[in-house]
Amino acid sequence: MPTEANPTSYNQPSPASGHGASELILNVGLWGPCPTKRQGEFVTLNMDLENKLFELSGGKALYAHTFYTEDEFWRVYDRNRYNALRKKYGATTLPSAYDKVKRPSDVGLGFRDRVLDVRPIGGVYGVL
């Protein structure tokens, strides 16, 4: 825990910074099911949150779904650095981080997306 004697004990490179600078990370989590009758509002609120994070030089931790377009995603996360790591560790045939966390930004999800959103079906599908 940070103290006056050691105020930077939680400093880590920011995943969104792309330059490895040491920054204090604040992780705020919001959990819960998507309200199916107000899904458009849910998507809009998520996109507003992502825009605010970008304005503040932050980004979502990638355990959460994102509503970024692919261009917006790679403005936040350093694509060149990411691809270099994928190449170094032989992971170029796997889906990208963007492919794993993206969600459609339209209001409705199709049948396929709804099925793949059920655990563990989406995970098994991803492995296959």
Residue-level pLDDT at 100: 85
Low-confidence residues of the chain: pLDDT under 50: 1-15, 17, 19, 105-107
Count of structural domains, the chain? 1
Q: Which structural domain range is residue 92 located in?
A: 37-127
Residue-level pLDDT at 45: 85
Record the tokens describing residue 122, joined without a space: 């989406």
Residue-level pLDDT at 36: 65
Q: Residue 22 falls within a domain, yes or no?
A: no
Q: What CA–CA distances, in Å, run from 121 to 8, 10, 51, 63, 126?
A: 41, 36, 30, 17, 9
Write the pLDDT tens digit of every residue in 69-96: 889 889 888 999 999 999 999 999 998 9
